[in-house]
């Protein structure tokens, strides 16, 4: 086995491993498409976030437009504040838009459903760092059952 042959084989090995990594990064983890790209930040206050998690998707009509960046607790009112990172490409949401915590399927994971609002002369477009006022919290099944039983009692 000559040195040249060995070096060629080692080079092939490295190239093969690099190809495997590229496949894992691009085809399996899909990093190049959603990971990069400019985004801007919106905030929303909820009463209850249910099972929403960091990196949960934000969808408009089922299309993913961004992800939840962080979830913190407001230190004054003790309500959860969700920081949303939305793709720069979708930067024309008016301030009348509403956001709700929804569940995909009956048992699926929870996501943020963003509903664009109407536009007229007095309505402004949401900019980086603004808050969405109209929010609907997650439906907690136990509370719903509790209310139902309470109403039946009456």
Q: Which residues bind other proteins (CB under 8 A)?
A: 3, 6-7, 9-10, 12-14, 16-17, 19-21, 23-25, 27-31, 35, 55
Residues in Cβ contact with 89 at an 8 Å cutoff, skipping those fewer than 6 apart: 37
Cβ atoms 102, 66 nearer than 8 A: no
Report, in Å, the least distance between residue 105 CB and other proteins.
Answer: 10
Report, in Å, the least distance between residue 10 CB and other proteins.
Answer: 5
Report, in Å, the least distance between residue 7 CB and other proteins.
Answer: 6
Q: Which is nearer to other proteins, 35 or 61 (CB)?
A: 35
**CA distances for 105 relative to 40, 98, 138, angstroms:** 28, 21, 14
- 3-state helix, strand, coil split of the chain in percent (to 5) is 30, 30, 40
Report, in Å, the least distance between residue 134 CB and other proteins.
Answer: 28
Cβ atoms 92, 125 nearer than 8 A: yes
Helix or strand run (H / E) with residue 12 = helix 3-22
Report, in Å, the least distance between residue 31 CB and other proteins.
Answer: 4
What are the φ/ψ torsions at residue 80 (nearest 5 degrees)? Answer: -70, 140
Q: Which residues pair with 44 in a beta bridge?
A: 82, 132
Q: Which is nearer to other proteins, 25 or 127 (CB)?
A: 25
Q: Which is nearer to other proteins, 67 or 132 (CB)?
A: 67
Q: Which is nearer to other proteins, 24 or 140 (CB)?
A: 24
Q: Which is nearer to other proteins, 10 or 73 (CB)?
A: 10
């Amino acid at each position: 086995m000559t040195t040249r042959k060995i070096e060629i084989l080692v080079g092939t090995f490295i190239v093969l491993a690099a190809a495997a990594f590229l496949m894992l990064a691009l085809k399996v983890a899909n990093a190049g498409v959603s990971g990069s790209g400019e985004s801007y930040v919106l905030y929303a206050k909820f009463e209850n976030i249910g099972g929403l998690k960091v990196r949960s998707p934000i969808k408009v009509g089922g299309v993913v437009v961004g992800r939840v960046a962080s979830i913190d607790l407001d230190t004054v009112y003790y309500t959860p504040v969700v920081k949303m990172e939305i793709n720069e490409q979708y930067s024309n949401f008016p301030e009348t838009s509403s956001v709700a915590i929804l569940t995909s399927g009956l048992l699926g994971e929870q996501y943020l459903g963003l509903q664009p609002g109407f536009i007229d002369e007095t309505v402004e477009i949401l900019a980086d760092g603004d808050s969405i006022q109209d929010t609907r919290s997650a439906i907690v099944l136990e509370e719903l059952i509790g209310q139902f039983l309470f109403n039946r009692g009456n």
